[in-house]
């Protein structure tokens, strides 16, 4: 394919320089809007926390990034004291600031995996159904409909329950529950992409069905899918933490995870509000940032919104 780059293929593919300009323009529109700039900033800060927590946790003041450090001699939550315990401590004597920092990494990582897995499966299924059509369309989309017949949260609870109730099982369950949404979305996008002249041209030049699907249709539905991913990430973080809050992953109560933290603090919530306040706030701020960024991306990538 690369050898033929400057012969007939040239008209089909966008040159790299134009694409780069396109990205620059998108970025410019994005940061010019105050709300999406704030969203981008929040997401960048969270990503930085996650990366630093994984590589140099001591920079954040975190002792152990992979497990909370309990103090069983003093398990009852104590109020925030600057600078030893800026967020206070939570049951069982864990410094809440360190726990929240590491939990941000864990939650971000799992949510990203869930959304990417869901988007990958959903996009392939949706695009194949839309492009090939006929019986495959019916079979794949009815199969998708079956998954959409139960509201996602109870469904995820049921699937995670049969898989085994650990964090990995919760993530697999959420990916299983999440891909149909992407299948539906990619299906709609692919139906319109399919009608383009370049698909006709590829077909005429003898590219096989799978070749067209993976080289021409999927790359052209990726932009809207990407926007959808950024909009979904804020929701998935919430749903993931919701599942751990109601008791999934309770086998390891010392794993830093935002939902588990809220769940650990649940019985102390009234007497020691900070034990549920800070972990929830961490979810809320990330979700706000991700939603602002997602809205901004959608507007920036939509040519009709540009002036």
Positions in the binding site for another protein (CB under 8 A): 142, 145-147, 149-155, 157-159, 161-162, 165, 234-235, 238, 241-242, 245-248, 250, 262, 266, 269-270, 273, 276-277, 280, 283-284, 287-288, 291
Tell me if residue 148 falls in helix, strand or coil: coil
Cα end-to-end span (Å), the chain:
37
For another protein, which is the closer residue by CB, 57 or 234?
234
Q: Which residues pair with 89 in a beta bridge?
A: 95
Nearer to another protein by Cβ, of 47 and 235: the residue is 235
Alpha helix (H) residue ranges in 164-212: 167-193, 197-204, 209-212
Residue 103: closest CA among 66, 75, 145: 66
- State how far the Cα of 94 lies from the Cα of 87, in Å rounded to an integer: 10
| Residue 86 near residue 278, CB atoms below 8 Å | no
Cβ nearer to another protein, comparing 190 with 243 = 243
Which of residues 222 and 242 has its CB atom nearest to another protein in the complex? Answer: 242
Question: Which ranges in the chain belong to alpha helices (H)?
Answer: 16-32, 34-55, 96-132, 134-147, 152-163, 167-193, 197-204, 209-212, 218-245, 258-265, 274-301
Coil vs helix vs strand at 89: strand
Complex with another protein: residue 134 or 151, whichever CB lies closer: 151
Q: Please report where in the chains the tokens 């079979």 appear, as a residue.
A: 139
Q: How far apart are CA 147 and CA 66, in angstroms?
A: 34
What are the residues whose beta carbons fall under 8 Å from the beta carbon of 252, sequence distance 6 or more? 166, 167
User: How many angstroms separate the CA atoms of 108 and 91, rounded?
Assistant: 23
Q: Which is nearer to another protein, 182 or 248 (CB)?
A: 248
Cβ nearer to another protein, comparing 226 with 268: 268
Nearest distance, CB of residue 231 and another protein, angstroms: 9
Q: How far is the CB of 285 from another protein (least distance, A)?
A: 8
């Amino acid at each position: 394919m690369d050898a033929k780059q400057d012969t007939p293929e040239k008209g089909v593919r966008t040159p790299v320089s134009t694409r780069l300009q396109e990205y620059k323009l998108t970025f410019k529109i994005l940061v010019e809007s105050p709300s999406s700039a704030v969203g981008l900033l929040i997401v960048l800060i969270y990503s930085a926390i996650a990366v630093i927590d994984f590589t140099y946790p001591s920079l954040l003041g975190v002792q152990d990034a992979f497990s909370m450090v309990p103090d069983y001699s003093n398990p009852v939550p104590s109020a925030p004291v600057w600078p030893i315990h800026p967020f206070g401590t939570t049951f069982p004597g864990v410094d809440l600031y360190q726990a929240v920092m590491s939990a941000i990494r864990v939650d971000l990582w799992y949510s990203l995996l869930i959304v990417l897995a869901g988007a990958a499966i959903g996009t392939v299924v949706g695009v194949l159904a839309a492009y090939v059509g006929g019986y495959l369309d019916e079979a794949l989309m009815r199969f998708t409909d079956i998954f959409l017949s139960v509201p996602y949260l109870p469904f995820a609870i049921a699937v995670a329950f049969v898989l085994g109730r650990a964090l990995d099982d919760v993530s697999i369950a959420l990916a299983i529950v999440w891909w149909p949404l992407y299948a539906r979305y990619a299906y709609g996008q692919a139906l319109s992409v399919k009608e383009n002249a370049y698909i006709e041209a590829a077909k005429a030049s003898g590219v096989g069905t799978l070749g067209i699907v993976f080289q021409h249709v999927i790359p052209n539905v990726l932009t809207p899918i990407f926007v959808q991913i950024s909009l979904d990430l804020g929701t998935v973080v919430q749903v993931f933490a919701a599942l751990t809050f109601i008791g999934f992953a309770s086998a390891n109560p010392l794993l830093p995870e935002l939902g588990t933290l809220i769940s650990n603090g649940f019985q102390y919530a009234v007497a020691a509000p900070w034990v549920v306040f800070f972990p929830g706030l961490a979810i809320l701020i990330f979700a706000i940032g991700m939603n602002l960024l997602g809205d901004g991306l959608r507007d920036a990538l939509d040519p009709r919104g540009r002036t």
